[in-house]
Structure 1
Amino acid sequence: MNSSLREKSYFDQRATQEMEKHLHGVERDVRETMAYACRILAMTEQEAGLAGQISVRSRRPGAYWTLRFGLGFDEATPDDFIEVDRDLHTLTGEGMANPATRFHLWVYDARPDVNAIIHTHSPWASALAAARQPLVISQMDMTPLHDDCAFLADWPGVPIADQEGVIISEAIQDKKAIILAHHGYLTAGVSCEEATYLSVYLERAARMQIRARVFGPLTPVDDELAREAHDYLLKPSIVNATFNYWARQTHGIPPLPTK
């Protein structure tokens, strides 16, 4: 073996430092970020009528920002986001919240680390949900969800009441994502960018799993290697740079008017 070979940790540390130096962030208002997130979800074909939801924890205690009810992800603009309180009364903006976002409150209460939630009935993740199949981490692009995707085996019904929020918040535990049997999925990120990133990769992972099953049983990635990839691919610099790339792929969002 060549004695000059360096440990992987050396390259990890070096890459991390260089990404922090060269992958510059983009300054956006929370509503602009959410509008881009919605367009990304639409671009990746995660629309299902008005069933999809997005929310971001507000700086105001017990409140969150969400897309006003009646709009699809593909038509969201920054002006279409409203701030609502615990009873879903609108505090900022015009319109009403999707009543099904009530369960988001329970996740936010249980998880101080979560600042953004996305829930959709996307085609491939919903196919896993319909088959009551948990995610199997069997390929590198699935690893951001390694040991981070819970599974709720029973559907509690349309999540417009408090009990559904209790069930979902308990089922997700400390994970960043969950597949909801007979329903769809949810991602819970430290930021709107991370929740979006996880959503796109969860839908891709579900598609890959369903396609790969044609060839036989799936072989999970080695646990240690999957954990290493999970931590690497969830570095904020990678998450944010990926989100910004996807944002550039959308048709663009009109900026908020300057005050």
Structure 2
Amino acid sequence: MENDTRELIKDLVFAFQILAMDGQGSGISGHLTARLPGKNTFWSIPYGFGFEEATADELIESDFNLKTVTGQKKCNPTLNIHTEIYARRPEVTCILHTHSEASLALGIIGQVLQPITQSGALFYNDIVLFDEFEGIVLRAEEGTSIAQTLGDKRAILLRNHGSLVVGRSIADTTISATVLEFAARVQLQCMASGVSKNLPEKEALQTKAFLQRPDVVDLRWQLLTRQSKRHNPHFSTERTH
């Protein structure tokens, strides 16, 4: 196995464990995938597995027809959202779709994330609302609708469904997902009180640029990986077969 693939698998296992630790697993309904740049295949956990069960040996590789090409287990049949986004966004190498509570609640009430927290500035002018519900995404056409609405943004809230975050790396996507859920939770609390104040545009853009710096992303990623090891010390990031 090539080094790039080994590193992808290692980071993806960490991402699954971090998101499980953050309460974003969504049972068997959460989706996290990653691919090497330019590839028309992606890695994920098998259908029916939870995020906390992710180990290097359990991961499978699938093609854009959702057929398993590495491993023996079945690919999740609802990953058309991912394949449609990958086909349209060559820079995207990782996608997360989850049903975490705060982000789900914002979508249900037809709200998109507002720039009211410093960390939430990461999504300034970079998140949209998919204001319809098309049921379980079992066809490419339904994935296309979501991909088209997402456009070139970092994230999308899916009404009555959950959220979806994309990124140029596994670390970028994972950090974004934890920030989105935190910022959504704070926004709901502010809405309940009836009081909130948006960040000024200039300061929001400055904060967003800082949060996207590679050194900042790396520091945050390293912290999350250390925390995941303490939270669940038994998972493995190296394949044995």
TM-score, normalised with respect to structure 2:
0.91
Moved more, 217-226 or 112-121: 217-226
**Matching of residues 157-172 of structure 1 within 5 Å:** 157-172=135-150
In the alignment, residue 92 of structure 2 is paired with which amino acid? V
The equivalent residue for 1:126 is: 104
Task: Report the 3-state secondary structure (helix = DSSP H, G, I; strand = E; otherwise coil) of the residue aligned with 2:223.
Answer: helix
Between structure 1 and structure 2, the one with the greater Rg is 1
1:94 aligned to which of 72, 83, 91: 72
Structure 1: how far apart are the matches of 2:205 and 2:37? 32
Q: How much does 1:156 deviate? A: 2.0
Q: How far does the alpha carbon of each residue in 1:216-239 deviate from its partner, in whole angstroms, 9 at most, with x for none?
A: 143221111111111110112211
Alpha-carbon RMSD across the aligned residues, in angstroms, is 1.7
In the alignment, residue 194 of structure 2 is paired with which amino acid? G
The equivalent residue for 2:187 is: 209
Structure 2: how far apart are the matches of 1:142 and 1:59? 27
Task: Report the 3-state secondary structure (helix = DSSP H, G, I; strand = E; otherwise coil) of the residue aligned with 2:79.
Answer: helix
In the alignment, residue 226 of structure 1 is paired with which amino acid? A
Gaps in structure 1 of 5+ consecutive residues: 1-26
Amino-acid identity (%): 30
In the alignment, residue 236 of structure 2 is paired with which amino acid? P
**Matching of residues 109-148 of structure 1 within 5 Å:** 109-148=87-126
Structure 1: how far apart are the matches of 2:134 and 2:222? 35
Structure 2: how far apart are the matches of 1:50 and 1:223? 39
Structure 1: how far apart are the matches of 2:70 and 2:154? 28
Structure 1: how far apart are the matches of 2:138 and 2:36? 20
Q: How much does 1:150 deviate? A: 1.3
Task: Report the 3-state secondary structure (helix = DSSP H, G, I; strand = E; otherwise coil) of the residue aligned with 1:175.
Answer: coil
Q: Is the 8 A contact 2:81 2:144 kept in 1?
A: yes
Q: How much does 1:137 deviate? A: 1.0
**Matching of residues 208-227 of structure 1 within 5 Å:** 208-227=186-205
Structure 2: how far apart are the matches of 1:65 and 1:46? 19
Alignment pair present for 1:186 and 2:168: no
Gaps in structure 2 of 5+ consecutive residues: none
Structure 1: how far apart are the matches of 2:164 and 2:85? 10
Q: How far does the alpha carbon of each residue in 1:25-57 deviate from its partner, in whole angstroms, 9 at most, with x for none?
A: xx9621111111011111111122111001112
The equivalent residue for 2:236 is: 254
Q: How far does the alpha carbon of each residue in 1:150-191 deviate from its partner, in whole angstroms, 9 at most, with x for none?
A: 111111221121111111111111111111111100111000
In the alignment, residue 168 of structure 2 is paired with which amino acid? V
Q: How far does the alpha carbon of each residue in 1:78-116 deviate from its partner, in whole angstroms, 9 at most, with x for none?
A: 111111112111111121111111221110111111110
Q: How far does the alpha carbon of each residue in 1:184-213 deviate from its partner, in whole angstroms, 9 at most, with x for none?
A: 001110001101010000000110001111
The equivalent residue for 2:47 is: 69
Q: How far does the alpha carbon of each residue in 1:56-88 deviate from its partner, in whole angstroms, 9 at most, with x for none?
A: 124673211111111101121111111111211
Task: Report the 3-state secondary structure (helix = DSSP H, G, I; strand = E; otherwise coil) of the residue aligned with 2:203.
Answer: helix
**Matching of residues 25-44 of structure 1 within 5 Å:** 29-44=7-22
Alignment pair present for 1:57 and 2:35: yes
Q: Is the 8 A contact 1:58 1:83 kept in 2?
A: no
The equivalent residue for 1:14 is: none
Q: How much does 1:130 deviate? A: 1.8
Structure 1: how far apart are the matches of 2:159 and 2:237? 38
Change (3 A) 1:28 1:238: farther
